[in-house]
């Protein structure tokens, strides 16, 4: 009996504490808390930079894989598709070894900086963008093949034409990559170091503040992150629906 009363009292206290944390989290968001906004801002900057860097390589790589035929192409595609699910901590470890003082790029001294985080997230997002681009261009090539061949368009011209005409579909690939980058924690924790005011992102801050017991900030960042991911997915769906409506077939 006494044990049951103790558990009921503990549950009541926990419930009250949880509600207070949620209220505090909502207040942090509504009041524009400086610490919260700083963390969100850095997260967005790193994720956007990483996605853009990955797109510079991923778009042409995916297009070339879609249009070219060469020995080992199938193996490369399988590897690329497999890397879409690459464990983030493995990417973080690889980049850490490259950028550490004893690594080949250690002389640049960019480990535990936002630049290191951008590099790591770019490598994480690159397979996603490249694989989705390859599939998109390969599907579009079936419709354009005869016309482009008849016009004698070269490889570079084909790549440029197909990338431009599939720009709305490729935007969804960018948004998918951004969603992966924004929600990532393991990679940026390893190469960024989670330094307050310098390399602390939403995901790493949530992990740290939860372990410290500061659930208000952790919940606030979690709410912002969820809202951001939902907004990205809604935008991707809207772009896809709009492009299909405007360019049927």
Identify the segments of the chain with pLDDT beneath 70: 1-16, 247-249
Q: Can you tell me the distance from the alpha carbon of 177 to that of 197, in angstroms, rounded to the nearest whole number?
A: 25
pLDDT of 108 reads 92
Q: Can you tell me the distance from the alpha carbon of 127 to that of 125, in angstroms, rounded to the nearest whole number?
A: 6
Q: Answer yes or no: is 64 within a domain.
A: yes
Q: Answer yes or no: is 24 within a domain.
A: no
pLDDT of 7 reads 34
**CATH code assigned at 184:** 1.10.3720.10
Tally the C-alpha atoms within 13 A of residue 203's C-alpha that lie toward its C-beta.
Answer: 22
pLDDT of 160 reads 87
pLDDT of 169 reads 84
Q: Can you tell me the distance from the alpha carbon of 241 to that of 234, in angstroms, rounded to the nearest whole number?
A: 10
Q: Answer yes or no: is 186 within a domain.
A: yes
The parent domain of residue 123 ranges over 33-246
Angle separating helix axes 34-67 and 167-182, nearest 10 degrees: 130
Q: Which two tokens stand for residue 193?
A: 């170091």
Structural domains in the chain (count): 1
Q: Answer yes or no: is 23 within a domain.
A: no
């Amino acid at each position: 009996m006494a044990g049951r009363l103790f558990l009921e009292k503990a549950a009541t206290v926990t419930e009250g504490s949880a509600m207070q944390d949620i209220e505090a989290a909502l207040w942090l968001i509504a009041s524009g808390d400086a610490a919260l906004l700083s963390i969100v801002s850095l997260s967005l900057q790193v994720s956007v930079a990483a996605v853009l860097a990955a797109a510079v390589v991923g778009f042409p790589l995916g297009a070339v894989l879609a249009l070219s035929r060469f020995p080992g192409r199938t193996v490369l595609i399988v590897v690329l598709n497999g890397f879409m699910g690459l464990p983030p901590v493995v990417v973080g470890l690889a980049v850490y070894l490259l950028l550490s003082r004893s690594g080949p790029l250690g002389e640049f001294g960019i480990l535990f900086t936002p630049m290191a985080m951008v590099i790591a997230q770019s490598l994480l997002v690159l397979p996603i963008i490249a694989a989705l681009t390859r599939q998109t261009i390969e599907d579009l090539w079936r419709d354009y093949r005869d016309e482009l061949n008849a016009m004698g368009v070269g490889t570079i011209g084909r790549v440029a034409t197909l990338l431009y005409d599939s720009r709305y579909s490729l935007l969804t690939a960018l948004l998918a990559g951004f969603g992966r980058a924004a929600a990532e924690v393991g990679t940026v924790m390893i190469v960024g170091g989670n330094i307050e005011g310098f390399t602390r992102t939403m995901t790493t801050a949530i992990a740290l503040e939860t372990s410290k017991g500061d659930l208000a900030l952790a919940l606030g960042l979690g709410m912002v992150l969820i809202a951001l991911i939902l907004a990205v997915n809604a935008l991707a769906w809207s772009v896809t629906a709009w492009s299909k409506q405007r360019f049927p077939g």
